[in-house]
Amino acid sequence: MAYTKRFDGRKFDESRKMEAKVGVVKNADGSAMFRFGDTIAIAVVYGPKQMHPQHMQDPKRGLLRCNYDMLSFSVPERKRPGPNRRSQEIGKVTEWALSSVVDLESYPNTVVDVHIMILQANASTRCAGINAASMALASAGISMKELVSAVSIGKIDDKIVVDLIKEEEDYEDGEGATDMPMAFTKSGEITLLQLDGRIRPEELKEAVKIGKKACKEIYELQKKALRKMEEK
């Protein structure tokens, strides 16, 4: 049976209902929430602040530290709290996706801490996290080149789809499922591209093209959320 209709009835190039909000945590220097349907991520930014331990200080540039954490109630089966191999990897990948746009040279010897918390997870958590973190960094008044938007593109059987959900990630019929989280800057540069599964080169090109289009939509939403913050 080929994959002709998505589990939740969306079109193949349609993402879930998105929501973005800036300034959700009052005590932080910057904060934002981003949601893809059931996936909710909150990002909190502290800093630039003095770097500790001191031997990690860099007199040429600041450091960006991302911490990704899935809360224990975010998934159907309780997740053991605390960092694990997966969260460490996603934190590192988020750091790489964002550090190319943050102007760290203006903050020597300092560190910017980004904490991403997943309140509810249904696939694409790292994309929601990157989207939220990018807005939170901007709202913290940190100098950056542009915003970053991320989306997950998948190949389910032979169809390329936007914004996967858990059921699609676990699809096994036909050619199976391929999950590709990707992040783009506003100018269209790729800052994150991961691939979990198998895909043909020409399909990959197509997927990146579709991802870019989906990210444009996300970018508009991020912009709207930032503008709205000031109306408060």
Residue ranges in contact with another protein by CB under 8 A: 29-30, 47-50, 59, 101, 103, 107-110, 138-147, 185-187, 223, 226-227, 230-232
Place of tokens 């909150």: 42
The one-character DSSP state at 102 is: B
**165 vs 192, which CB is nearer to another protein?**
192
Q: How far is the CB of 108 from another protein (least distance, A)?
A: 6
**Could you please report the per-residue DSSP string of 103-149?**
-GGGSTTEEEEEEEEEEE-SS-HHHHHHHHHHHHHHHTT--BS--EE
Q: How far is the CB of 119 from another protein (least distance, A)?
A: 23
**89 vs 220, which CB is nearer to another protein?**
220
**94 vs 139, which CB is nearer to another protein?**
139
Q: How far is the CB of 89 from another protein (least distance, A)?
A: 27
**4 vs 27, which CB is nearer to another protein?**
27
Residue 1 buriedness (CB in 10 A; 0-12 / 13-18 / 19+):
exposed
